[in-house]
Amino acid sequence: MTRPAVYVYTKGGKWMRRTLRIGLALLLFLTPAALAQTLRIGAAAAATGAASAFGEPEANTFRMLQDQINAAGGINGIPVEIIFLDTASDTGQAVTNVNRLIQEEDVHVVICCTISANSLAIIDTVQEAGVPNISLAAAANIIEPVSERQWVFKTPQTDRLMITGIVEDMVAGGMQTLAYLAIDDAYGEGGLNELNTAIQGTDIEVVTIERYGRSDTNVTAQVLSAVTGQPDAVLIWGVVRDTALVVEELANRGYEGQVYVSHGVGNPSFLELAGEASNGVRLPIGPMIVVDELSADSEIAPVAQAYVDEYEAIYGEGTASTFGGHAWDAVKSIELAVTHAMEQGEIDWNDTEAVRTAIRDSLEAMPAFTGVGGVFDFTAEDHLGLDTRALVIVEIVDGDWTLAR
Amino acid sequence: MLDIPLILFFEGLTNGAIYALMALGLVVLYSVTGVINVAIGEFVMISALTVASLRDGSVPGTIYLLIAGLVLWAVYGAIADLRARRAAKALWSLAWPLLAGAVAYLLVLAISRTAMPYLAHIAVAILLTTALGPVAHRVIVQPLPRASALVYLILTIGLHLALTGLGLAFWGPQPYTLPPFSQGRLRLGPVLMDHQDIWLLAVSLLLLVLLWWFFSRTLHGKALRAAAVNKLGARLSGISVVRAGRTAFTLQVFLASVAGVLITPITKMAYDFGFLIGLKGFVGAIIGGLSNPLVAVIGAVFVGLAEQFSAFYISSAYKDVLVFLLIIPVLLVRSLQHVDFEEHVE
């Protein structure tokens, strides 16, 4: 038998009830929604902790964009406030932060999180609260199925998109057999699922599947097993250090086929770790990394170039990364959604829930726009909205990324 | 390819050699003090990343760790002396660790600012990391002289977590690599081996021989063995059990730090990779019953080989599972053989 919830309040008698009512009324009065006409964006990213290499450029980009937008007079006169909370790469912290942003800071839209595990963990929170969230992490199931994720969008390319790019490159190169070497976690398994889907309808066959641990010191057995099948190509689906280890081992065993690696290694420390062995390795990645090689008719090139220039003017030469680019795309899509919503009709900035709904609806309804990471066209069915223009295949040549396709 | 088993064998041997250094360190420390050091892998990481810092021309975080430990040492020492009403000695106990810390800091600062050959950096890093051994013993083990193995285990789990966190703070999440001691490859029959693999095997073997000599031929080594066999007896014949424990801890950390610089050119290193190396060494040490160094070394090499062969012939997805499953039959056999397995639990 359950007691009615009001029991607690009625027990204290009249005096207590009255105090409670007055208190509640006061609370309602003080709710920050009554404050001002400001777009409040709540951002939670991994500025510290294991994913700080990705989260730090994101945090920097938020700061830069807030200053830029406000210096330009806000969005149609509405100033922007980006409230940033550090998740420390921790799932529990991410959920706490998002709750705090929604309940205490009363934000209109959330940008969270840097890594997939955290982005998945906060889905229920934003779905229940009815707050649009834009994730900066890769996994496709952050936004799928859309019917259960109406409030969740994301800007980074998914594994599916990246693997589709690799499969297209293999088909173009006439390759037919592939060995798949992956890290033994959700990332590696997810990659395998996407790979199996992507090769349907092509002549490509996965001949070997091997796995290794994140902190394995030795991958010889796996590499030998992959090489004995003499596949046309090897795909390594892991992160920086382990991929470098596999790439080196493949070179040691004299493997001569094409080596593909995941976009997870797209940062300079991979070039340093893998050294000469990385020569000729190909990977799919956002176009920003080779921005100066993009052809003149690429619509992404000028946007990406502008972002790189602005970012590096503040934070130093050579510091811009695709991860900060994802943050740029997230804030820009919010900016455009707000603009779009204001064009559709007057927005009541005192009604937080109405603003949240308006932003969500506008994200789906607004026309496509070009960001740093690709051309985004959010729809009711697709909360990523990217196509293969959002990736290029680069080849590592003498320790530098070169546009291959 | 007929040479696959051979390639696997040599790779397993290289890994096994590292695990053997771990296993030996664990056995020595456990037999002398009853401490199972869960944090052994962190010292592997610290020595490797210290070299990376030095090569970078920056001051490695290791020195701050050492200074913090020495400050604690000074405080502990002074308190102990004051309690025993030895005021003059308390002053000295307070002063010397602080002085040592200051000197070490200035030295490391000077070293990080001067260009030095790679091998010198390695020597400095090993020295600096090894210096953490006695400090860790003083701060963690010595204040609880007659605790049970379980208490020590919990303490070193704490040390493991602390050192991993500090490693992240000092060096960040990104992995580092070191150049091999010498470039090139050598053909051994059908197998091509990197020079670094040969270095690793040779240095490990040399260390094993040196340790054998130390324990069987020198007075210090014999004193350590005496302390391991019977603490009371050792104390009665004038052996300081505290000092023996400190030597054992230092020896273990030394082995770990050598392992770190040997393996990093092959495997790279990041703040959280030490633990698994230590854990596999622990499996080897368990095979040796935590008391027999020779069996522990053989066990560790066996772990390295089992890892390679099971990954190739059975399944790479279950490689670590299979290695750790090894513990179960070993424990079963050992529990049937030795009734006095828990002699250290008092």
For the stretch B117-144, pLDDT in tens is 999 999 999 999 999 999 999 999 998 8
Which tokens go with B38? 């869960």
**Contacts B2 to A, Cβ<8 Å:** none
Please check the confidence at residue B232 and state whether its pLDDT lies above 90: no
Cβ–Cβ contact B271 with A under 8 A: no
Cβ–Cβ contact B168 with A under 8 A: yes
* Residue A185, min C-alpha distance to chain B (Å): 10
Coil, helix or strand for B183? coil
Cβ–Cβ contact B174 with A under 8 A: yes
The pLDDT profile of chain A, 405 residues, written as one tens digit per residue, is 444 443 334 444 555 556 656 655 555 555 444 446 899 999 999 888 777 878 889 999 999 999 999 999 999 889 999 999 999 888 899 999 999 999 999 999 999 999 888 999 999 999 999 999 999 988 888 998 899 999 999 999 988 899 999 999 999 999 999 999 998 887 888 899 999 999 998 999 999 999 998 778 888 899 999 998 899 999 999 888 889 999 999 998 889 999 999 988 877 788 888 888 999 999 998 888 888 888 877 889 999 999 999 999 999 888 888 889 999 999 999 999 999 999 988 888 888 999 999 999 999 999 999 999 899 999 999 999 898 888 899 999 998 889 987
Task: Give Cα separations from A14 to A6, A18, A19, A25, B51 (angstroms).
Answer: 13, 6, 9, 16, 72
DSSP B174: S
Q: Determine, for residues B8 and A224 on separate chains, whether the beta-carbon distance falls below 8 Å.
A: yes
Query: Could you tell me whether strands A39-45 and B191-194 are parallel, antiparallel, or unpaired per DSSP bridges?
Result: unpaired
Q: Which of A361-365, B28-32, B210-214, B317-321 has the lowest mean pLDDT?
A: B317-321
Nearest CA in chain B to A89: B173
Q: Determine, for residues A240 and B175 on separate chains, whether the beta-carbon distance falls below 8 Å.
A: yes
Q: Determine, for residues A241 and B175 on separate chains, whether the beta-carbon distance falls below 8 Å.
A: yes
> Within a 13 Å sphere around the CA of A389, how many CA atoms are in the beta-carbon half?
18
Probe site for chain B from A52, A56, A215 (most B CB atoms < 10 A):
A215
B266, with CB counted inside 10 A (0-12, 13-18, 19+), is buried
Please check the confidence at residue B31 and state whether its pLDDT lies above 50: yes
0.85 surpassed by complex ipTM: no
**What is the reported pLDDT for A2?**
43
**What is the reported pLDDT for A6?**
39
**Which pairs with CB-CB distance under 8 Å and at least 24 residues apart come from B322-327?**
B323/B280, B323/B283, B324/B279, B324/B283, B326/B283, B326/B287, B327/B283, B327/B286
Q: Which amino acid is at B312?
A: F
**What is the reported pLDDT for B114?**
87
**What is the reported pLDDT for B88?**
86
* Residue B12, min C-alpha distance to chain A (Å): 9
**Contacts A272 to B, Cβ<8 Å:** 177
Residue with tokens 């790279």: B268
The residues on A that touch B, with CB distances below 8 Å, are: 49-53, 184, 210-213, 215-218, 220-222, 224-225, 228, 240-241, 244-245, 252, 269, 272-273, 275
Q: Which amino acid is at A61?
A: T
Q: Determine, for residues B307 and A269 on separate chains, whether the beta-carbon distance falls below 8 Å.
A: no
Describe the strand order of the beta sheet including A133-135 as a list of residue ranges. Answer: A80-86, A39-45, A109-111, A133-135, A152-154
A343, with CB counted inside 10 A (0-12, 13-18, 19+), is exposed
Identify the bridge partners of residue A180 per DSSP, sorted by sequence position: A209, A235
How far apart are alpha carbons B84 and B173 in whole angstroms? 46
* Residue B311, min C-alpha distance to chain A (Å): 6
Is-contact A83 A103, C-beta < 8 A? no
**What is the reported pLDDT for B346?**
43
- Provide the chain B residues 36-55 that lie in CB contact (below 8 A) with chain A: none
Average pLDDT, chain A: 87
Buried-exposed string B306-341: b where 16+ CB fall within 10 A, e elsewhere: bbbbbbbeeebbebbeebeebeeebeeeeeeeeeee
Cβ–Cβ contact B8 with A under 8 A: yes
Sequence ranges of the domains in chain B = 4-177+184-337
How far apart are alpha carbons A238 and A247 in whole angstroms? 11
Q: What is the three-state SS of A325-387?
A: HHHHHHHHHHHHHHHHHHHHCCCCCCCHHHHHHHHHHHHHHCCCEECCCCEECCCCCCCCCCC
Q: Determine, for residues A252 and B272 on separate chains, whether the beta-carbon distance falls below 8 Å.
A: no
Buried-exposed string B52-79: b where 16+ CB fall within 10 A, e elsewhere: bbbbeeebbbbbbbbbebbbbbbebbbe
**What is the reported pLDDT for B324?**
87
For the stretch A319-350, pLDDT in tens is 888 889 999 999 999 999 999 999 988 888 88
Rounded to the nearest angstrom, the gap between the alpha carbon of residue A113 and the centroid of all alpha carbons in its chain is: 7
**Contacts A265 to B, Cβ<8 Å:** none
How far apart are alpha carbons B322 and B320 in whole angstroms? 5
pLDDT tier at B333, thresholds 50, 70, 90: confident
> Within a 13 Å sphere around the CA of B301, how many CA atoms are in the beta-carbon half?
14
Query: Phi and psi for A233 in degrees, rounded to 5?
Result: -145, 155
* Residue B184, min C-alpha distance to chain A (Å): 11
Q: Determine, for residues A273 and B268 on separate chains, whether the beta-carbon distance falls below 8 Å.
A: yes
**Gyration radius (Cα) of chain A, Å:** 24
Q: Is the C-alpha dihedral spanning A41, A44, A48, A52 positive or negative?
A: negative
Q: Determine, for residues B268 and A245 on separate chains, whether the beta-carbon distance falls below 8 Å.
A: yes
Q: Which residue has the higher pLDDT, B184 or B213?
A: B213
**Contacts A212 to B, Cβ<8 Å:** 316, 319
Identify the bridge partners of residue A376 per DSSP, sorted by sequence position: A369
Q: How many contacts, defined by CB atoms under 8 Å, are there between A and B?
A: 87
Is-contact B198 B186, C-beta < 8 A? yes
By Cβ distance, the residue of B18, B173, B312 closest to A221 is B312
How far apart are alpha carbons B316 and A222 in whole angstroms? 7
CA end-to-end distance (rounded Å), chain B: 55
* Residue A299, min C-alpha distance to chain B (Å): 33
**Contacts A222 to B, Cβ<8 Å:** 311-312, 316
For the stretch B151-167, pLDDT in tens is 999 999 999 999 999 99
Cβ–Cβ contact B331 with A under 8 A: no
* Residue B167, min C-alpha distance to chain A (Å): 12
Q: Which amino acid is at A40?
A: R
For the stretch B54-88, pLDDT in tens is 998 899 999 999 999 999 999 999 998 999 888 88
**What is the reported pLDDT for B96?**
93
Peptide bond preceding A145 in cis form (omega within 30 of 0): yes
Please check the confidence at residue B330 and state whether its pLDDT lies above 60: yes
Q: What is the three-state SS of B190-249?
A: CEEEEHHHHHHHHHHHHHHHHHHHHHHHCHHHHHHHHHHHCHHHHHHCCCCHHHHHHHHH
Residues in Cβ contact with A278 at an 8 Å cutoff, skipping those fewer than 6 apart? A244, A247, A270, A271, A396, A399
**Contacts A230 to B, Cβ<8 Å:** none
Is-contact A139 A190, C-beta < 8 A? yes
High-pLDDT (> 90) share of chain B, %? 57
Q: Determine, for residues A241 and B168 on separate chains, whether the beta-carbon distance falls below 8 Å.
A: no
Q: Other CB atoms closer than 10 Å to residue A76's CB: what's the count?
A: 11
**What is the reported pLDDT for B145?**
82
Is-contact B312 B4, C-beta < 8 A? yes
